[in-house]
Structure 1
Amino acid sequence: MELDLVLTNTQIMLPSKGLTPGQIGIHDGRIAAIAEPGLALRAKETIDCQGLWTLPGVIDPHVHFGFGSPETDFQTESRFAALGGTTTVLSFHRSADIRESFEPVRERAERQSCIDFGFHFGITSHLHVETLQEISRRFGVPSYKLYMMYKGAAGLSKGFTDIDDGLLFAALRETAKIPGAVLGVHCENVEVIPLLRDPLRAAGRDDLKAWNEQSPDFLEAENVHRVCYFATKTGTPVNIVHLSSREALNEVRRHRLSPDAPPMYVETCPHYLFLNDESPAGTYAKVNPPVRGQADVEAMWEGVLDGSVTTIGSDHVPRKRATKDKDIWAASNGFPGTGMILPILLHEGYHKRRVPLETLVKVASENSARIYGMPGKGSVEIGKDADLVIVDPELEKTVDPATLESNSDYSPYEGMTLKGWPVRTLVRGRTVALDGRITEEASRSPGGRFLRRLHP
């Protein structure tokens, strides 16, 4: 068989073997051969990787495409993702009635995205719970998110009237009936936050640390306890998304010890591994939950190393700088980050902290593929999609928003020099990003595919 493409002269990240010298043969978008160096492989095209690493493409299980420029986000943000070595994203879709809103969004994403993508559904009402089995099977989406921070007055301000512990329990119970489904939950006790926030505002505080103080770690941990406790009662796999603190992580560890505990996954974000509440990024680093103190940054790395943290998601939100150029209370929440996962893990994890590369690949790729039902993704193995990223571990670049292709025109990491960057990103064997630029072919014909992860 003549291969379409061979990547030769490379160090391949192989499951359970680590970096291994060799070459990869690709045919029809999939990995068809993994061979020793020097073995002759017939191919239409051969790329000499010059001794650089070949890793599985990053899977970002937590992006909010559509929150910047709804009509074009899948174009711009998929490009940002590809430039940083992210080859698959799972984005959040929510509306009053998902049965009516989903198809146009999926179709637009298929026209625009240069990487593969799937969705999670946002559960904000009892209608969503009542139709969960229908929309899951109809659209192939077995993962959801419920927002504890939109209870009560906080929810009313966004038009959500149903979010309370009853909706949480109902969503858990319904999720448990769907094979392979998992419920993600945003954990912050929003009912206590105003009690802590108002005195800080009255005192004239306008700093990133104040944002941490108005929603401290124990308000996250309290909600984590509730979710894990209810999940154990209903037997539902849950994912604590964007977890930020030691106290919250310890709650998950404690609940996992129960003999009746269902799978309890933990996602953290690159910013909780890299920024703290004294960051000069200021309002550009405002997010929910807040970036914490350095002790919590250390705790997140401990969780990555001991396996208590399961996945890394960016919580990417591509709004403009103007929404951030306000005081800490008025600035928008969230920031762009999907293309920064790999550079931050390499710079801070591999180079600075000596975290094993195998560990970083597990949380950045392998685990998300397994948890979210993407068996063709997440690792370099024969038969899997050729979603690959060629990495120069010694390359140093300074983060410049003008080069990142995002709708967003800022970054909380702007001006930082990071060591370890992708130089080529392939999605199903096709180069979509090369040397910091999106290829002309990917610009002209994006080619990303929707991932149906649940079948009728």
Structure 2
Amino acid sequence: MNDTLIKGGRIITATDDYHADVLLSAGRIALIGEELDVRADRVIDARGQYVIPGAVDMHTHLEMPFGGTVTCDDFTTGTVAAVHGGTTAVVDFCIQERDQSLPDALATWHEKIERCRPLADVGFHLAVTDLTDPARLEELAALPEHGVTSIKLFMAYKGAIMVDDETLFRTMQVAGRTGSVVMVHAENGDAIDVLVREALAAGNTDPIWHARTRPPITEAEATSRAIDLAALADCPLYVVHVSCAEALAPVQRARAAGAAVWAETCSQYLYLDETYLARPDFEGAKAVFTPPAREAHQQEALWRGLETGVLSVVSSDHCAFRFADQKALGRGDFSKIPNGAPGIEDRVELLHETGVRSGRLTLNQWVELTSTAPARLFGMPAKGTIAVGADADVVVFDPERTRTISAATHHSAVDYNLYEGTAVRGGPSAVFVRGTLVVRDGELVGEPGTGRFVARERFGAGAALTAA
């Protein structure tokens, strides 16, 4: 027996807000009620604090090869950082190599989590890069049998992982009939490739040109194209990391028309703008991620998208490369800077600080965007809520806890933090992964291996626990 009783907390879900006790037992939420009279091995006094479902970050890149290097967080360090920030489940991108079978790609990522023993639960999306072998279509259709019900396609990074429209459309056809959702990185990679070559030929090599060669119209065009192709294929579509009003507009139109289209934004687009890329001494390389940070006025459009439900999720797109040696690969050529930035630990607290505390989001919206919606959309009905029978992924969140975000104190293996010096009020005081206490008052108390692989349900199946 290793039961925990959480007493007197304010329970916040995507739809509820009330005070009650919560009993965690055998990895599940066993009881919820006022003044529960039960025995437990551990009692946590949560008076004055929120009790929320563990956050779900369905956009991470842990131990991922890219740009001649590998992201510096593996499934140990990355999930240690995640749980410190209140994230108890991640869905990571398994990247198919050229000429690689999809089962072999999945086996590679399973080996990573077996070797690194994560602290948080882990699911996989599969990023398709090569369908030239006809056998790959059969493998695509079989993915749901392996608990993988989301397929990622890159419409950018020409010459590396970008796919053509035929591959995009054929994947959508298979996904639509087999219960998977297609996710797209929506940028016009062909146009961007031309702009990058022109910039370098003109001697423009600094990090700011990462943004100037990927203007909003390249994101908007690809987003609109993906939405149209998904409609033709009768396939649900999820647009990752929307960064600007121009790309948000076709999402809004599609959703207003009742299309099966959803979209996310990421923390960095809400807090950073392209002036970061112009910082001297190559420091702007820290903010080279894709799509790029936009002009500051774009943030208002994204916040409106969150407030109105046009954007369904806030993810981290955690893709951490060290500044000292990995980002440095692009000194003198912005196109060689590894694309990506850290954020897995700070996402929930940042959205609470700037969204909830500013009055832009309700507590219910905060939980919806960081936990409930990703769990519901990506086939994890036992996660993302506080309900009897749900996984005991629970965070006791102290709204008065304060900290200053810094690379000196974060838990990622990366050597910088995009939000360095930002003060936030509100953070986890206790974090449980399926009933196991992994973080208490800022200290790691869990062991690697607490997390396990999550086999996810087919798109649209079984959302009983995570209300829409």
Contact 2:153 2:184 (C-alpha < 8 Å) held by counterparts = yes
1:117 matches 2:122? yes
| Alignment match, 1:299 | 301
Kept after mapping to 2: 8 A contact 1:208/1:278:
no
> Does 1:102 find its partner at 2:106?
yes
Deviating more after overlay: 322-331 vs 393-402: 322-331
Please say which of residues 413-422 and 211-220 is displaced more in the overlay: 413-422
**Residue 409 (structure 1) shift:** 1.9
SS in 2 for 1:402: coil
Instruction: Answer whether contact 1:185 1:239 (CA < 8 A) is retained.
Output: yes
Q: Which has the larger displacement, 191-200 or 407-416?
A: 191-200
User: Which residue is 2:78 aligned to?
Assistant: 77
The two structures have a TM-score, normalised by structure 1, of 0.90
Q: CA separation in 2, counterparts of 1:147 and 1:277?
A: 23
SS of alignment partner, residue 401 of structure 1: coil
CA contact (8 A) 2:102 2:140 kept: no
Shift in Å, 1:348: 1.1
Does 1:417 find its partner at 2:423?
A: yes
State yes or no: 1:428 paired with 2:429. Answer: no
Query: Is the partner of 1:378 in helix, strand or coil?
Result: coil
The 3-state SS of whatever aligns with 1:135 is helix
Answer whether contact 2:406 2:421 (CA < 8 A) is retained. Answer: yes
**In angstroms, what is the RMSD of aligned CA positions?**
2.2
Confirm or deny: 8 A CA contact 1:15 1:379 kept in the other structure: yes
The amino acid that maps onto 1:83 is H
Offset at residue 78 of structure 1 (A): 0.7
Moved over 4 A (4+): 68-72, 198-209
Distance 1:341 1:88, change over 3 A: same
Q: Percent identity?
A: 33
SS of residue paired to 2:209: helix
d(CA) in 2 for partners of 1:243 and 1:72?
24
Distance 1:182 1:414, change over 3 A: same
- Alpha-carbon distance in 1 for matches of 2:210, 2:431: 36
| Secondary structure of 1:284 counterpart | helix
Structure 2: distance between partners of 1:277 and 1:70: 23
Query: Gapped runs of 5+ residues in structure 1?
Result: none
Aligned to 1:267: 264
State the TM-score, normalized to the length of structure 2. Answer: 0.88
Q: Residues 144 and 51 of structure 1: is their aligned pair in 2 closer, same or farther, counting only changes over 3 Å?
A: same
Displacement after TM superposition at 1:420 (Å): 1.9
Segment drifting more, 192-201 vs 40-49:
192-201
Task: Name the CA distance, whole Å, in 1 between partners of 2:205 and 2:48.
Answer: 49
1:361 is the counterpart of 2:367:
yes
Q: CA deviation at 1:208?
A: 5.4
Bigger shift: 66-75 or 426-435? 66-75
Separation of aligned partners in 2, 1:436 and 1:46: 18
SS at the partner of 1:184?
strand
- 1:51 Cα offset (Å): 1.7
Quick one: structure 1 residues 360 and 209, their matched pair in 2 at CA, closer, same or farther if it must change by over 3 Å?
A: farther
Separation in 2, partners of 1:436, 1:214: 41
Give the match's secondary structure for 2:345. helix
Aligned to 1:135: 143
Query: Which residue is equivalent to 2:90?
Result: 89
User: What is the letter of the counterpart of residue 27 of structure 1?
Assistant: S
- Residues 1:174 and 2:174 are matched in the alignment: yes
Please say if residues 14 and 381 of structure 1, whose CA atoms lie closer than 8 Å, have aligned partners that are also in contact.
no
**Structure 1 CA distance for aligned equivalents of residues 369 and 292 of structure 2:** 21
1:403 is matched with: 409
Going from structure 1 to structure 2, the CA distance change for 1:232 and 1:404 (only over 3 Å counts) comes to: same
Matched, 1:25 2:3: no
**How many Å apart are 1:204 and its aligned residue?**
5.2
Letter in 1 for 2:21: Q
Q: Secondary structure at the match of 2:297?
A: helix
What are the ranges of 5 or more consecutive residues in structure 2 without an aligned counterpart? 459-468
Other structure's SS at 1:7 match = strand
CA–CA separation in structure 1 for the residues paired with 2:424 and 2:361: 16
1:163 is paired with a residue of what secondary structure?
A: coil
Residue 454 (structure 1) shift? 3.9
1:345-368 deviations in Å (ceiling 9; x for gaps):
011111234411111111111111
Per the alignment, residue 463 of structure 2 pairs with none
CA contact (8 A) 1:84 1:422 kept: yes
SS at match of 1:407: coil
Question: Number of residues paired by the alignment?
Answer: 438
Q: Which residue of 1 aligns with 2:464?
A: none
Please give the alpha-carbon distance, in whole angstroms, between the structure 2 residues aligned to 1:372 and 1:268.
Answer: 16
Q: Deviations over 1:103-131 (max 9, x none)?
A: 35314414510111100001111144342
Letter in 1 for 2:216: D
Describe the shift of the 1:104–1:226 C-alpha distance in structure 2 as closer, same or farther (beyond 3 A).
Answer: closer
